[in-house]
């Protein structure tokens, strides 16, 4: 009988602690399910490889990589090639990766991600690098706008 009472004295507080933890977890997860404020963006940005910029509260954009397969200056090529830019958008909805490109088959110079419209702008350097030179420090400009304010553009 003493074992039964002792077991109840230990099990009851443990059960109460478990219920309190579950209640707190439920409140925390329902608070985090609330939509985060959307970034207010209608701007022109310039990014270098590996650089991130803030788009508003809790949102940022990073240029992860540049893929430049354009024909190098001074080279003889069978095709012109293309240049593409890999980005990661991070916000309350999570991380999403997307690619913007020029002259890439089935590529696009615009993308719509998490309610934001991204449009490719200028590239620095604009011309492909010369044959047998180091990879340049690319910089790309792009226009970022909320979906409601984004101009409709063709690729």
Per-residue pLDDT of the chain (155 residues; tens, 9 = 90+): 555 554 555 555 554 454 454 445 454 444 445 455 455 668 899 999 999 999 888 899 999 999 999 988 888 888 888 999 999 999 888 999 999 998 888 889 999 998 889 999 999 988 888 888 888 899 999 999 987 654 555 44
Q: For residue 78, how many C-alpha atoms fall within 13 Å in the half-sphere facing its CB? A: 0
**Residue 91 falls inside a structural domain:** yes
Single out the residue of 123, 116, 119 nearest to residue 96, CA to CA: 116
Q: What is the pLDDT of residue 79?
A: 87
Whole-Å CA distances, 133 to 25, 74, 145: 56, 11, 36
Q: Are 36 and 57 in contact (CB under 8 A)?
A: yes
Domain count, the chain: 2
Tell me, yes or no, whether 20 and 53 share the same domain.
no
Q: What is the pLDDT of residue 39?
A: 59
Tell me, yes or no, whether 62 and 90 share the same domain.
yes
Q: What is the pLDDT of residue 19?
A: 45
Tell me, yes or no, whether 10 and 82 share the same domain.
no
User: What's the pTM?
Assistant: 0.68
Tell me, yes or no, whether 57 and 121 share the same domain.
yes
Tell me, yes or no, whether 90 and 139 share the same domain.
yes
**Residue 121 falls inside a structural domain:** yes
Helices (H), the chain: 2-32
């Amino acid at each position: 009988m003493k074992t039964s009472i002792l077991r109840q004295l230990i099990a009851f507080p443990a059960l109460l602690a478990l219920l309190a933890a579950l209640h707190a977890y439920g409140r925390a997860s329902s608070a985090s399910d609330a939509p985060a404020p959307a970034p207010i963006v209608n701007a022109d940005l310039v990014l270098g490889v590996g650089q991130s910029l803030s788009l508003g509260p809790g949102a940022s954009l990073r240029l992860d990589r540049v893929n430049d397969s354009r024909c190098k200056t001074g080279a003889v090529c069978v095709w012109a090639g293309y240049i593409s830019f890999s980005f990661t958008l991070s916000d309350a909805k999570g991380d999403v990766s997307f690619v913007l490109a020029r002259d890439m088959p089935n590529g696009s110079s615009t993308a719509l991600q998490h309610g934001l419209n991204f449009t490719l702008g200028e590239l620095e350097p604009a011309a492909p690098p010369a044959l047998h030179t180091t990879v340049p420090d690319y910089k790309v400009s792009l226009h970022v706008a909320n979906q409601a304010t984004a101009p409709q553009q063709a690729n």
